[in-house]
Amino acid sequence: DHVDIDFLGRSNIGFASAPGSNANSAAEYVIAGLLDIGQRYALDLEGRSIGIIGVGNVGSRVAKKCAAMGMAVYLNDPPLQRQTGDAKYLPLEKVFDCDFITFHTPLTFEGRDKTYHLADEKFFKSLKQRCVFINASRGGVVDSSALKSAIRSGRLRAVLLDVWENEPNIDIELLKIVDLGTPHIAGYSLDGKIAGMIMIYRAACEYFAVKPKFDLRDFLPEPAVPELKVNPNITNDQDVLLSSVQKIYRIDKDDTRLRRILDKPVENRGEHFDNLRKNYSIRREFQNTRVILEDTNSALAKKLIGIGFKEVKSAK
């Protein structure tokens, strides 16, 4: 969002980015949020519908993980629809009736696919009553005033926000009324950070015609939770998924840390938001953890693998 690529090219200055390096991290964040909200509101996710707006690196992974949990997935991505002609990419109005809506678009200000304030007053009034709304893309995709009105009117059952307009000086009144709020850290797993670093490193090596010496394995430590055993006394699949995910990542703790901003003087709130990002604790991805389960062929085992755990081994 912040780099003038054309200028760099005209100036013969090399540039590299790391698209997709933190996509799995962001997708796992959404799964953690869905499971948390499911528990808070006694919602069974299996069989519920979710509309995914933006089906790129993150959105496509969210789609696969949600499908693995038994959710009915509906996709909206106009550029991809035009590129592929695939009928699975639906018009925006076709996802309005979903139980959940999650945003994973870039922030664009012009053109036929402009996303700035895509979620405006008209958008929220079009959603299914008591929909759950999630934004882990860019803050400017959502009109904060319209979102606050939708929450206060009771149209939305729950809201999860990782991104905000005017970061780091976020809307405090909005934070007070969302169910889960976090400081733009969805993609902040250590795995994602290291993957991004390696992508930039390899691009720099290529630019300077240097052979790369390092890869991801040279920098990632052993996970804090290499293995976890499923409690056989928990019979509900969704409860097992929540328990397993929470052993790796507690999204509610990120929410608690952000809400401490409410106790800060106004002039220090932006600094608090920035510090949460700069000093973010180590978070590993599900893929580093093996699950021990009695029945490795069960629907539950497939769900655990589907949301990203490394493998499921028999407890017998």
Q: Which residues are known to be catalytic?
A: 138, 167, 184
| 8 Å CB contact between 134 and 100 | yes
Q: At what angle do helices 251-259 and 269-278 cross, to 10 degrees?
A: 150
Cis-peptide, bond into residue 168, ω within 30° of zero = yes
| DSSP structure string for 117-141 | T-B-HHHHHHSPTTEEEEE-S-GGG
What is the DSSP secondary structure assignment for residue 267, as one 8-state letter? G
Distance (Å, rounded) from C-alpha 314 to C-alpha 295? 6
Task: Locate 47 and state its tokens.
Answer: 């069989």
CA 36/CA 199 separation, integer angstroms: 32
Question: Which helix (H) or strand (E) element contains residue 314?
Answer: strand 311-314
The angle, 0 to 180 degrees and rounded to 10, between the axes of the packed helices 251-259 and 23-40 is 90
SS3 198: helix
> Length of the chain in residues, anyone?
316
